[in-house]
Amino acid sequence: MAARRPLIAGNWKMFKGPGETGSFCRALRDADLGDVDVVVCPPYVSLAEAVQALAGTDIAVAAQNVHWAADGAFTGEIAASMLRELGVYGAIVGHSERRQFFGETDETVAKRIAAAEAAGLHVIACVGETEAEREAGETEAVLRRQVEAILPVADGEGLVLAYEPVWAIGTGKTATPEIAQEAHAFIRSLLDVPILYGGSVKPDNAAVLMGQPDVDGALVGGASLDVESFAAICQAASHS
């Protein structure tokens, strides 16, 4: 039984423009999500639409990234103050797709977290090992390195970690509950904040994952794009 109120966050990645975001959020308003905290993370261009469509509900809206500078010559980047101006509640930082494809490092992850926190945004900071790292027995060393990079900027309030084994993201390969629990307990020994599990979470595996003592919720990719499956995951977490 998770000790904290579960948090279920939907990472939409590069899906759903403003039109689709509006209809999705209006349907989500009407869905029974159970007793959990819920966050949706649309692409930047859809954030304003999501904030508007979810106004007056407890469902929060977060971005998928945030830059560390207050402003400046950083083509294609978005500052924390700009997200605040839109009414956005937080941001994902350090997702493995940013680390893999866009040169994100432990250092830039820490800078983004610090800037987001300073602006009053909540942060979902992602950590996780690749398949090769797990097979080489390096999982704990990788998690230690990634979490220790965050420690100097972790002010606790508003910071959530997400354990996302890279080999489980978008692959349909989910960590077993035992693997997830072991990694979460290790991460918690380094930094005691809420820890979400991410990696092919679906309605049929959510309950057992959320039932692990150190799993405080989920960061959901593919299954968050459909109202019915996202709501079913929220319900499973609510009952775990």
**Catalytic (active-site) positions:** 95, 164
Closest distance of CB 227 from ligand PEP, Å: 16
Nearer to ligand PEP, 110 or 175 (CB): 175
Tell me the closest approach of the beta carbon of residue 85 to ligand PEP, in angstroms. 26
Amino acid identity, residue 159?
L
Question: What is the DSSP code (8-state) at residue 166?
Answer: G
Binder to ligand PEP among 36, 220, 231, 232 (CB under 6 A)? 220
Nearest to ligand PEP of 34, 199 (CB atom)? 199
Q: Which of 176, 210, 217 is nearest to 196 (CA)?
A: 217
* H helix intervals, the chain: 18-30, 47-53, 80-86, 96-101, 106-118, 131-135, 139-150, 177-190, 206-210, 227-239
The nearest distance, CB 199 to ligand PEP, in angstroms, is 5
Q: How far is CA 119 from CA 36, 42, 125, 128, in A?
A: 25, 20, 16, 26
Instruction: Return the residue of 222, 230, 234, 235 that touches ligand PEP, per CB under 6 A.
Output: 222
Least Å from the CB of residue 172 to ligand PEP:
8
How far is Cα 191 from Cα 232, in angstroms, rounded to an integer?
30
Q: What SS3 state is found at 198?
A: strand
42 binding ligand PEP? (CB under 6 A): no
- Closer to ligand PEP by CB, 17 or 170: give it: 170
Question: Interaction with ligand PEP in 11-30: which residues (CB under 6 A)?
Answer: 11, 13
Q: Which residue is nearest to ligand PEP (CB)?
A: 221
Buried b (16+ CB within 10 A) or exposed e, 193-208: bbbbbbbbbbbebbbe
Tokens standing for residue 106: 């432990």
Nearest to 108 by CA among 93, 128, 122, 121: 93
With beta carbons less than 8 A apart as the criterion, state whether 198 and 227 touch. Answer: no
At its nearest, how many Å lie between ligand PEP and the CB of residue 224?
A: 7
User: Among residues 68 and 230, whose Cβ is nearest to ligand PEP?
Assistant: 230
- Under rule CB under 6 A, which residues in 155-194 are in contact with ligand PEP? 164, 169-170
By CB under 6 A, is residue 201 in contact with ligand PEP? Answer: yes
Stretch that binds ligand PEP, among 17-25, 63-71, 183-191, 215-223 (CB under 6 A): 215-223
Cβ closest to ligand PEP, residue 60 vs residue 223: 223
Residues of the shown chain interacting with ligand PEP in the complex, contacts defined by CB under 6 A: 11, 13, 164, 169-170, 198-201, 219-223
